Structure 1
Amino acid sequence: MEFAQALFLVVAGHNDRQEHLSRARRLVLKVHLSASLSEGESVRFLPPIFGEVRLIVHQFLDRLMHDSGRPIPIFNQNAGSLDRRMDKAEFDRFADAYEDQHRENIAVTGEGPEYFAEYKIKAFREIVDRAGIEVNRICDFGSGIGNSIPYFRRYFPEAALTSSDVSERSLALGRQRYPEAGSCVLIENNRIPVEADSFDVAFSACVFHHIPHREHLTWLRELHRVTRPGGLIAIFEHNPLNPLTVHAVNTCPFDENARLIFARDLAKRLQAAGWASSRIQYNLFFPRALARLRPFENKLGWLPLGAQYVATARKV
């Protein structure tokens, strides 16, 4: 297979690992788009192709990410210290302008914030249904200005929603935009101010890349505390292996202190925090111009080149 030979040469024939990453991204994207777009190919023909690509990609990523040499620069190069946090004051400062900045930043995809907010909640509903969980109480961790609220109402109409955030201004804007949204809690002192086992499920949308990586375990344990036994967590995050995602993060003022997270690292942290059965699914492979290919995305969840991914786990 030409792809396999090309990717092998990339890994074996060059010393610059960033060059490996860049060329591999282009190769993987090229092969999966070519397979999808070839005339006359049926859906049944795609899995064998993708099965071979899957093995090659995973072998490549294992070599790339476990190499002991220089780190791959997948976080915002302008962020300064890797552990610098965006604090409460900064979240409050960005709250009023967040919607416009977000809309401008993602315009290249052809979609607005509403599309990305809805896709997450719709996917979350599917995850919960597959897990067979009855959902009466939801925690939205890092809810921001409430962009997910109308979609929680659409896909979880009977559930009680609790929006939680460190930014008091963001919570106020969420209440202003959606007065009947449910309850809000202000996160302070490294704690979500609710009793243990308060929620059936916990949800987080692109929040953890704003939290210093050394603090991930703290917050994953806190979310474990507030989720009932048998409950589930779903964390949606940007994929640092997707070049368009990295570009969008690096050019967004709101993400100036962001440090993206490899999916496998987040899965390991979930397990270390006491969660069980962690799983990863990659999402958002096609922009609006290729929307006709989006029905194939469910078959591409293994491919680590989607713009985002979701990490899920259960509390046992």
Structure 2
Amino acid sequence: MGLGKLLHDHARQGHAEGTINHPRAYDVLASIGFAGRRREVFTRLAALSGARPGDRALDVGCGTGYLTRVLAPLIGSAGRVVGVDPSPSMVEYARRRAPENCSYVVGEGQALDLPDRSFDVVVTSLAVHHMPEAERGAAVREMFRVLRPGGRLLVAEFRRPANRLLAGLLSLVGGAAHRHSPRDLLGELIPRAGFHVEGEGDLPPLLFYVRAVRPRA
């Protein structure tokens, strides 16, 4: 059993690997996995999202709220960051560390209890691989639904690092996240949901990202 499996409860309907319910352990393993560069990498993700002062941003599968807290200063006091995660313990952990312009709700990415066209930015990092393959399309369509026309989407997933030692470590802590390339994992989910893909790329040492926009017309 990979160490990552120890962070999960047993898989239940709607989750490929079960929800992660050990937030402190998750943050420790994430820090190790990013080789001390977690803040640097997520700061870059926040910049790639295009978040601006006054925006409303949504983080789907927010986990411990790490990316929401990085987004918060970009959006400022006039904006709002909302995190959604299926794990109550992760949401509670995120709430205790939240700046004033962040809030969190327990919920499923596949069925967001949020209004249509209510966000300027949607991000999701390291969450799609937790969803059953049959429900990933529904989750991306939900992201499309809650974005305003012209709104921006950023999806980030694991990629296998070139460093063999780091790849071996991640195979222990990441479980199924590293069995497929991120391009295979995401496939055509984003354009099929109606998004226009603007760019993609690698974000060393561990991530692959896709940037897209909801067309205005």
Which TM-score band (shorter chain)?
0.7 to 0.9
Corresponding residue SS for 2:66 = coil
Q: Are 1:263 and 2:183 counterparts? A: yes
Q: Are 1:85 and 2:16 counterparts? A: yes
Q: How big is each residue's C-alpha offset from its partner over 1:34-93, in whole Å with a ceiling of 9 and x where there is no partner? A: xxxxxxxxxxxxxxxxxxxxxxxxxxxxxxxxxxxxxxxxxx9x98xxx971223xx12x
Residue 119 of structure 2 corresponds to 199
Residue 45 of structure 1 corresponds to none
Picking from 157, 165, 168, the partner of 1:247 is 168
Residue 161 of structure 1 corresponds to 81
Q: How big is each residue's C-alpha offset from its partner over 1:285-309, in whole Å with a ceiling of 9 and x where there is no partner? A: 6xxxxxxxxxxxxxxxxxxxxx322
Picking from 25, 33, 42, the partner of 1:117 is 42
1 CA distance for matches of 2:160 and 2:33?
17
Which has a greater percent of helix? 1
Residue 32 of structure 2 corresponds to 104
Corresponding residue SS for 2:89 = helix
Q: Structure 2-normalised TM-score?
A: 0.79
Which has a greater percent of strand? 2
**CA, structure 1 residues 113+181, in 2 after alignment: closer, same or farther (shift >3 Å)?**
farther
Shift of 1:137: 0.7
2 CA distance for matches of 1:271 and 1:235?
12
Q: Structure 1-normalised TM-score?
A: 0.56
Q: How big is each residue's C-alpha offset from its partner over 1:7-50, in whole Å with a ceiling of 9 and x where there is no partner? A: xxxxxxxxxxxxxxxxxxxxxxxxxxxxxxxxxxxxxxxxxxxx
Residue 176 of structure 1 corresponds to 96
CA contact (8 A) 1:164 1:184 kept: yes
**CA, structure 1 residues 241+113, in 2 after alignment: closer, same or farther (shift >3 Å)?**
closer
Corresponding residue SS for 2:137 = helix
Residue 308 of structure 1 corresponds to 207
CA contact (8 A) 1:266 1:311 kept: no
CA contact (8 A) 1:204 1:236 kept: yes
Q: How big is each residue's C-alpha offset from its partner over 1:155-189, in whole Å with a ceiling of 9 and x where there is no partner? A: 22242111111111111001111252422121149
Q: Are 1:147 and 2:63 counterparts? A: no
Shift of 1:278: 4.5
Shift of 1:135: 5.6
CA contact (8 A) 1:121 1:152 kept: yes
**CA, structure 1 residues 189+204, in 2 after alignment: closer, same or farther (shift >3 Å)?**
closer
**CA, structure 1 residues 278+263, in 2 after alignment: closer, same or farther (shift >3 Å)?**
farther
With 97-106 and 242-251 compared, the bigger mean Cα shift is at 242-251
The share of aligned pairs that are identical, in percent, is 20
Matched residue count: 202
Residue 23 of structure 2 corresponds to 95
Residue 143 of structure 2 corresponds to 223
**CA, structure 1 residues 194+148, in 2 after alignment: closer, same or farther (shift >3 Å)?**
same
2 CA distance for matches of 1:137 and 1:223?
13
Work out which of the two has the higher radius of gyration on C-alpha atoms and give 1 or 2: 1
The unaligned stretches of length 5 or more in structure 1 are 1-75, 286-306
**CA, structure 1 residues 265+190, in 2 after alignment: closer, same or farther (shift >3 Å)?**
closer
**CA, structure 1 residues 176+167, in 2 after alignment: closer, same or farther (shift >3 Å)?**
same
